[in-house]
Amino acid sequence: MRVLVGVKRVIDYAVKIRVRPDKKAVETANVKMSMNPFDEIAMEEAVRLKEKKSATEVVAVSIGPTAAQEQLRTALAMGADRAVHVVTDDELVPLSVAKVLAALVAKEQPKMVLLGKQAIDDDSNQTGQMLAALLGWPQGTFASELQVASESELRVTREIDGGLETLRMSLPAVVTTDLRLNEPRYATLPNIMKAKKKKLDKLSLADLGVSLRSHLTTLHVDEPPKRGAGIKVDSVETLVDKLKNEAKVI
């Protein structure tokens, strides 16, 4: 079976972000960019499925600016067989991304689409669910364990609010990854070199025949309110006293 893996280029998780002075967005110029951490987990899982012979081909896809090729090369170095880059400079809401992915699914005919559960930039946590809805496929979101039981059946253990739950679903399906699904591998230098020779197709939104419309306008982006400066107390005794008499929380 063919597995499609979504990869998003985002500001690196360790970067302390800054709001742009015009308050229209977050500063992205000269900021370190990386593959969304949840997508790395999706990529790793797809490669493991291939190593277990459950998957025959792993296709990494990214929708975004030209620079998103870097993240696709990383995906290829991790073990994707080929990559598809849908080039656009527009900021797409998850519904629009899901529509583009649905068009790619129609083209590529995968049996499974693996996505991260959320992108760490917009924190939406929507794309996988929306794609599943558009395709009429079942969804295994927040997966912490994935078992391909047969050509047509999947078992997904999901992280839910009170613990874990296990679902059985038929393939094709959309799966979104939670942190604990796996530990993504590092791309080795030889694999990074090999990745340069792998196929990376470029498509435009027009090539895929998807028409998108605007759903949301970001009016402004602000810094969250700052907390007032705290104090360091010298002993637990003082701490308990402050909590009782000053903050009155115990």
Partner 1 sequence: MAAMLRATALRARPTARMLTARRSLSTLLIAEHDGKTLNPATLSALTAATEIGKPVTVLVGGENAKDAATAAASAAGVSSVVLLENAALAHGLPETWAPVVVAMQKEGGFTHVVAASSSFSKGVLPRVAALLDVAQISDVLQVKDENTFVRPIYAGNALSTVQSHDEIKVMTIRPTAFEKAAAEGGSASVTEGTVEVVAAKDVAWLSEEVKKSDRPELASAKTVISGGRGLKSAENFAMLDSIALKLNAAVGASRAAVDSGMCANDMQVGQTGKVVAPDLYIAVGISGAIQHLAGMKDSKTIVAINKDPEAPIFQVADYGVVDDLFKAVPELESRLEQK
- Looking only at residues 35 through 54 of this chain, which bind partner 1 when binding is defined by CB under 8 A? none
Three-state DSSP class for residue 31:
coil
Interface residue with partner 1 among 67, 164, 193, 199 (CB under 8 A) is 164
CB of 195 to partner 1, least distance (A): 28
Decide: is 162 part of the binding site for partner 1 (CB under 8 A).
yes
Q: For residue 28, how many C-alpha atoms fall within 13 Å in the half-sphere facing its CB?
A: 12
Three-state DSSP class for residue 86:
strand
CB of 60 to partner 1, least distance (A): 22
Decide: is 82 part of the binding site for partner 1 (CB under 8 A).
no
Decide: is 98 part of the binding site for partner 1 (CB under 8 A).
yes
Interface residue with partner 1 among 155, 185, 194, 198 (CB under 8 A) is 155
Interface residue with partner 1 among 166, 193, 201, 207 (CB under 8 A) is 166
Decide: is 150 part of the binding site for partner 1 (CB under 8 A).
no
Q: Which residues contact 249 (CB under 8 A, 6 or more apart)?
A: 243
Please identify, using beta-carbon distances, which residue of 79 and 116 lies nearer to partner 1.
116
Considering only 56-64, 160-168, 185-193, 200-208, which stretch makes contact with partner 1 by CB under 8 A? 160-168
CA distance 56 to 62: 20
Decide: is 122 part of the binding site for partner 1 (CB under 8 A).
yes
CA distance 82 to 120: 25
CA distance 69 to 87: 9
Decide: is 247 part of the binding site for partner 1 (CB under 8 A).
yes
Distance separating the N- and C-terminal Cα atoms of the chain: 58
With contact defined as beta carbons under 8 Å apart, do 115 and 63 qualify?
no
Decide: is 30 part of the binding site for partner 1 (CB under 8 A).
no
- How many chain residues bind partner 1 (CB under 8 A)? 80
Decide: is 206 part of the binding site for partner 1 (CB under 8 A).
no
Three-state DSSP class for residue 163:
strand
Which tokens in the block code for residue 109? 């005919």
